A and B are shown apart, each in its own frame.
Chain A
Amino acid sequence: MGAQKKGGARVSEDSEEQSRQRLQAILLADSFTTKFRPVTLERPKVLLPLVNVPMIDYTLAWLESAGIEEVFVFCCAHSTQVIDYLETSEWHSHPNLVVRTIESHKSISAGDALRYIYEQQTETSQIQGDFVLVSGDTVSNMPLADLIQEHRERKKRDEKAIMTMVIKKSKPSLITHQSRLGTDQLFIAVDPLTKQLLHYEEDKVDYARGSVCLDKSLMESNPSVLLYNDMQDCYIDICSPEVLSLFEDNFDYQHLRRHFVKGVLVDDIMGYKIFTHEIGSSYAARVDNFRSYDTVSKDIIQRWTYPYVPDINFGGNRPVKLGRQGIYRACDVVQSRSADVGASTVVGYGTKIGNGDRILNSVIGNGCSIGSNVVIEGSYIWNNVTIEDGCEIRNAIVCDGVRIRAGAVLEPGVVLSFKVVVGRDFVVPAYSKVSLLQQPMKEDSDEELEYADSSSGTADRLSGLSLEMESKGSELGPDGAGYIWEVCEGAHDEEWKHSVAPIPEDKLAEITQAMDDYDDMEDESVVPTSGELKSDADSINTDVNDPGDDYGYFEKEVEGTFLRAVEEGIKVELGVLEINSLRLSYNMESADCAGAIFYSMMKLAVDTPHSSASELYKTASSIIAKWKGLLGFYVKQTDEQIEVIMKFEEMCQETAKELGPLFAQILHVLYEKDVVQEDAIMRWAEEKAGADEADKVYLQQCETFIQWLKEASEEEDEDDDEEED
């Protein structure tokens, strides 16, 4: 632009140009996931209507209004459809926004897309400076200009600040641990002063324990860290050009968050930094799955996205009029007097609503015809859908051109793809996905792969298919057409999490129950105190979850400590101290300690090389003699002593069979060394008296000893009695 201007003005202009570059954005018109299948087999996700407007229009309208001047739309799956749409829409030759399309069929991930864009840059179309990276399913009304300015200034101060990530406060559900958009709960750590992102954890969070694992070095390098679990990642990023080259350098980066952000944060390449920006009053969300489709639709109807709402023409859409109770109704809707159209409903142009219909919380597209006595609740009916009399549709998505014959019922969570016909009185089971296309047999083992090979073949296959269908009937009743897709393995549990339907009560109750059970167990077992946290990061994140395992772990630790004590000749008092600290950190009872110590002692005895049973007996008794102080510290109560005996019995049966014959002898030693009192032995004997024959082996072995003890005590009792008299 400055080419024709006079030379004198050049210098000042250059600096001006630097501060005011063209604002550019990269819009990924492909989500590189399969969450919207089977719908996305026939139409790209960005063109799916969200409250009767294609998703990409929300994104483009927002970008345009936020002052973005040039958008690179990256099309991959169904690229021709996207490009055709953009060319006929008002975004083509828009005065303020230049929309350029980039087409690639090879990319299977966001990383590939960015690499492709980086390679394809030409003189005329290139990323010149900082850019906004969004996907084509973003709905937002946040202002960007200030944020980009902030990003640039930060970049000027700190070369390494390459990205600003937009986050928004949104509380996750306490029960399901997913955000209202159906994504997993997100944990992030942020430096409260600089807003630098320090940690990002989307998956692998152990919800049940409520713990999240942070690298220790994080604490070392930052005086304070703010941990959030109520933030929602908006997937709106302000990026510096370095981001593109970083993707180019690391060809294994696929996912923006899982690989790129993790890579920058953890691998610490070049010391790049990511910053966060929290938005307050403006709205931003991404339609990532069917649940968020439902949530964002409702947010739009409730006007959180103002001015991108159905009654305002923001991007080539025909505005519909807003009436009371949040009912948006196009002016030419033919509605029967007896029809009941309830709150938060959108009805599009040319739609007919028959007698006695009940419509609530739903979006109905253009040109639909709805018969009489139809119930539609919480559903999304797209364009040109025919619904015959007496159908019931609850929490379903019904795509263009679908025909639902009289009396059919769609249970919650159903998705009917394009042109499916549901047969008369057919009940489509909950969460089923129905399409005219057959489910691809085994996906190419690559979960990242989006839609089936692009649009080319679909149409032909479709026409042939429907003919075939009609001749032989289908899975959707005798006069229906379409295949019910099987739910892939593993995803079955997740189905209800990400569907349009609200999570059913019984599922919620189930989760709550599971949580309660866990909490009960938690109470008796672990809560590590902070003082004993092991310094290496993974010690907290051990995979021991249930208290049984925890005891095993504890036992090992005790054994280790004990062996060290034996080897290094540590004093009994110090040993007590060490084991006490272990006991605290694992939240164990002293009985557990006693058992563990005794176990270690016997193990040591067994492990010491020996040739005969008598030799083993000698070592064992010498160890007991030497360490009875340590053991004695934990066996002050009768219960603890019994625990030791039980442990001993268990060992003899399972781990150290050699000790079996020596049971009575060693028990005697324990009695003599005052480790076990006679009360304990008697009680153990009483308990065991009722047990199975198999369990009584050791009891029988000690019978003489116990007999002797009994006699001794009786004598004592007599003595006592005499004294008292």
Chain B
Amino acid sequence: MPDVQSMVLEFVNKLRKRKIEGSQATARCTVELLRSVISHHRVPHANQASALIDAVKAVGAQLVAANPVELAVGNVVRRVLHIIREEDLSLATAAVAGLDLLEASDDDEDVNGKGIGYPGMSAAVVAAAARSTLRPPSLQTLLEGTPESATVPYTSSSGADSESKTADKSSVTRKLKHDVIEGVNQLIHEIAGCHEQIAEQAIEHIHQNEVILTLGSSRTVLEFLCAAKEKKRSFRVFVAEGAPRYQGHLLAKELVARGLQTTVITDSAVFAMISRVNMVIIGAHAVMANGGVIGPVGVNMAALAAKKHAVPFVVLAGSHKLCPLYPHNPEVLLNELRSPSELLDFGEFSDCLDFGSGSGSPLLQVVNPTFDYVPPSLVSLFITDTGGHNPSYMYRLIADYYSADDLVM
């Protein structure tokens, strides 16, 4: 698989050189890369799931290290790992069911062809197994002991009939990979479609003649606002320009192109304008497990202003932006300082940066952070592709998407 290796290297290279940025783009590239990693990975006969997990983890670690600030990369890697674990588990339970049936009907083909074709049998087991992977085993599950028993009979029964085991195993292998790729495809679909999913809910949140404030540029926000517009809602949008990258200007351009009434304001005018605003809508870079939001720089200021004036502060985030990590974790890199040249003209300030005279220590420091952190207490509502949620519900949502084993990679 040299070509996969080179693809990984290329993507790592792009991430490192900051040639690919933004959670949407990185998430999509990551998941597509992982799909080809999985499809090219030659799975051994034994322990195919853990082999796949190791392969994905190895690539994932490289990707995360390449640009730790793009949290979406880590999220997607964990999602894929979760898919592998889930599929493995459901296959295992299906196999248990299949083996049970095998003894009764002796029909190999049918079992392997249909896979989860025994809904009556597997559904309960799958559900129980899934539950066990979602969260640390609760007292109840420990007492019930269902998931553990799901894997035990499989291993014991496989030792019983060696001939049927080998045939069964290769098909299970193929099956696992197939199912995982199926699952990853679904994830790709989900990431690609999250804008529409979120935008569908726009009509419930934006009302007639309202004034919406947003900051920076986010495709999700753009689609959200346009969806409301398409539903014949008439409202006005204030766009804070989002210095120093001024992505708000781009957003304003696009909004106007779609026929929305748009006003561009400076970031520093946010507080002055907030009393006229009915709702603040922000696109997130990442949503942390505690419900805190990482967004473009200046967002915290807007959130505080909104809090002061009791204006709802709504955050739009596709599910790939949900990060299972907590912001106080020292391993998590929340911010990146970019080049001062976005703020200052080097030529104009070059005399301030002359280290040849004076004490030689730089008197002029320029700090250009990319992101801002908004604590969960300032967020009124999260709108994800699965609907609206409270900040305090985020940890639960995250437990649905990630398995606890993958949190530390």
Contacts and interface: CB of A to CB of B under 8 A. Distances in A.
Contacts of A344: 361-362, 365
Nearest to A308: B17
B359 A502 contact: yes
A95 B362 contact: no
Given A141-B339, A283-B339, A303-B338, A298 B362 contact: yes
B10 interface: yes
Contact of A502 (B347, B350, B358): B358
Contacts of B118: none
Please classify the interface of chain B as helix (H, G, I), strand (E, B), loop, or mixed, using the class held by over half of its residues.
Answer: loop
Given A173-B351, A313-B65, A378 B360 contact: yes
Contacts of A283: 339, 341, 346
A360 B365 CA distance: 14
A281 B342 contact: yes
A503 to B, nearest CB: 5
Contact of A314 (B16, B348, B356, B362): B16
A508 B353 CA distance: 17
Interface string A299-326: 1001111110000111000000110001
B357 interface: yes
Interface in B332-358: 333, 337-342, 345-348, 350-351, 353-358
B18 A170 contact: no
B156 interface: no
A609 interface: no
B355 A180 contact: yes
A180 B13 CA distance: 32
Contacts, number: 120
The residue among A230, A306, A344, A503 with the most chain B CB atoms within 10 A of its own CB is A306
Given A173-B351, A230-B347, A303-B368, A96 B13 contact: yes
A395 B357 CA distance: 13
A302 B18 contact: no
A334 interface: no
A378 B339 contact: no
A281 B344 CA distance: 9
Given A283-B346, A307-B16, A95 B9 contact: yes
Given A170-B346, A312-B16, A502 B339 contact: no
A264 interface: no
A466 interface: no
A171 interface: yes
A313 B337 contact: no
A35 to B, nearest CB: 15
Contacts of B345: 169, 280-281
Interface string B357-400: 11111100110100000000000000000000000000000000
B6 A95 contact: yes
A282 B345 CA distance: 10
B66 interface: yes
B19 interface: yes
B353 A180 contact: yes
A343 interface: yes
Contact of B346 (A95, A304, A508): A304
Interface in A264-286: 280-283
Contact of A307 (B17, B340, B355, B356): B17
Contact of A299 (B9, B333, B353, B368): B353
B38 to A, nearest CB: 21
A503 B356 contact: yes
A180 B17 contact: no
A347 B196 CA distance: 47
Contacts of B16: 307, 312-314
Contacts of B67: 312
Contact of A294 (B65, B333, B355): B355
A508 B66 CA distance: 46
B240 to A, nearest CB: 22
Interface residues of A, number: 49
Interface residues of B, number: 37
B21 to A, nearest CB: 10
Interface string A150-190: 00000000000000000011110101101010100000000
A64 to B, nearest CB: 8
B350 A170 contact: yes
A295 interface: yes
Contacts of A312: 16, 18, 67
A303 B339 contact: yes
Interface in B237-266: none
Contacts of A303: 337-340, 366, 368
A384 interface: no
Contacts of B337: 303, 306, 322
Contacts of B17: 61, 65, 307, 314
Interface string B140-159: 00000000000000000000
Nearest to A395: B360
A397 B342 CA distance: 31
Contacts of A360: 361
Contacts of B368: 303
A182 B356 CA distance: 8
Given A306-B339, A307-B18, A395-B360, A326 B365 contact: yes
A294 B16 CA distance: 26
Contacts of B361: 344, 360-361, 377-378
Interface string A367-397: 0000000000110000000000000000100
B356 A302 contact: no
A303 B337 CA distance: 8
A344 B356 CA distance: 17
A299 B346 CA distance: 11
Contact of B356 (A64, A168, A180, A361): A180
A246 to B, nearest CB: 31
Interface in B1-57: 6, 9-10, 13, 16-19
Nearest to B364: A302
A298 B340 contact: no
Nearest to A313: B16
B139 to A, nearest CB: 38
Given A95-B6, A313-B65, A171 B347 contact: yes
Contacts of A281: 339, 341-342, 345-346
Contacts of B351: 171, 173, 180
A419 interface: no
The residue among B6, B18, B356, B366 with the most chain A CB atoms within 10 A of its own CB is B356
A291 interface: yes
Contacts of A291: 356
B408 to A, nearest CB: 16
Interface in A33-78: 61, 64-65
Contacts of A295: 353-356
A501 interface: yes
Contacts of A508: 357
Contacts of A96: 10, 13
A440 to B, nearest CB: 29
A603 to B, nearest CB: 51
8 contacts: A171-B347, A182-B356, A283-B339, A298-B355, A303-B338, A306-B337, A344-B361, A503-B357
Interface of B: 6, 9-10, 13, 16-19, 65-67, 333, 337-342, 345-348, 350-351, 353-362, 365-366, 368
Given A281-B339, A312-B16, 12 more contacts: A65-B19, A95-B13, A171-B350, A173-B351, A176-B357, A180-B356, A281-B342, A291-B356, A295-B356, A313-B16, A313-B65, A502-B360
- Which 8 pairs across A and B sit closest by C-beta, in order of nearness? A169-B347, A502-B360, A306-B339, A170-B350, A180-B354, A171-B351, A281-B341, A307-B18
